[in-house]
Amino acid sequence: MSALLAIDSGQTGIKVRLPDGAPRTFPGIRTNQRLLPQLAEVVHESALGGAGPLELAIGTTGLTKLEANPTELLELCRADGVERVALAHDSVTSFLGAMGYQTGVVVAAGTGVVTLGVGPTAVSRVDGWGNLIGDAGSGFWIGRAGLDAVMRAFDGRGQATALTAFAEAEFSALDNAYIELQTDPGHVRRIGSFAKYVSDLAATDPVCARICEQAGAELATSVAAAAKNVGLDVPQVALLGGVFRSPAIREACVAALRMRWPGFQPAEPLGDILDGAAALASLPAGHPLAAQVLVAAV
């Protein structure tokens, strides 16, 4: 029998559940480098000497067409005793962790955001298009909106905001902030970190309150689109990720969804994203998500 190594790989960090259930964490994926070698290195550091046989079940961000190659990952990990790989986008493992094999919609909103709808026969991914052209309502989106508001206040285009004090503490000078960010390899994380300040100030700062309301509305729009795309009239919806720890954003999203579905209440997640990764190993062949899972085996 193979032991199961479950992995959740994101930009902020990588979580691993060892075969004995013990957790490990690693730094996040570097999006300017190849994904599969980074995953293989995590496996190597987690495999405890290649005792094997191991089965990998991985949900990851950055799963482009180039990287969607479980056979390559299997070969990179063979020396660590890996005999089977199940690889999927982290939207799939977020869904499985929250909903199991049921239908519904799951939003996973952290530094980035992706929404997945699963109906009786169809699957729809909404957004998750990265910080340059998507990820509406994500931590990065919120942090960038906050910094935009700071700069508008700074040069006279916008309303004063208490966020300015946090930006002044972060940067050597506000008129040099854009240079600091453009030259910082960690600019996505750095901008995303301002989402916390936006959320914390939402109760007292009108600028931050508007940003949080807009973020909640964007996330609700993605939920509604996913539900429509897969033919769900009144779906179960789970709201996952650090963005929803903000009361202002969660309340704005729920309020927007109640405008569409009176009486709406978010569903309680069945488990976490590592549970979802582990579920890849036993996903029924006839499930709508089965086509989203890439498998390679010895």
Tens digit of pLDDT for each residue in 80-132? 999 999 999 999 999 999 999 999 999 999 988 999 999 999 999 999 898 99
**Does the pLDDT at position 151 exceed 80?**
yes
Sign of CA dihedral 134, 137, 142, 148: positive
Same topology, domains 3-94+273-297 and 101-269? Answer is yes
In the prediction, which pLDDT does 48 show? 67
Angle (CA) 6 11 16, round 5°:
20
Topology at the third CATH level for domain 3-94+273-297? Nucleotidyltransferase; domain 5 (3.30.420)
In the prediction, which pLDDT does 32 show? 78
| C-beta atoms surrounding 156 within 10 Å | 6
**Of 252, 250, 257, residue with least CA distance to 221:** 257
pTM score, two decimals? 0.87
Give me the residue spans of the domains in the chain. 3-94+273-297, 101-269
Rounded to the nearest integer, the mean pLDDT of the chain is 93
Write the DSSP string, 68-100. Answer: --HHHHHHHHGGGTEEEEEEEEHHHHHHHHHHT
**Does the pLDDT at position 17 exceed 90?**
yes
**Does the pLDDT at position 51 exceed 70?**
no
Backbone phi, psi, residue 240, to 5°:
-115, 155
Topology at the third CATH level for domain 101-269? Nucleotidyltransferase; domain 5 (3.30.420)
Q: How many residues does the structure list for the chain?
A: 298
Q: Quick one: average pLDDT of 262-290?
A: 94
pLDDT tens-digit series, residues 106-117:
999 998 899 999
**Burial status of residue 20 (CB atoms within 10 A of its CB: 0-12, 13-18, 19 or more):** exposed
Two tokens, residue 256: 């927007």
pLDDT tens-digit series, residues 205-234:
999 999 999 999 999 999 999 999 999 999
CB 43 within 8 A of CB 74: no
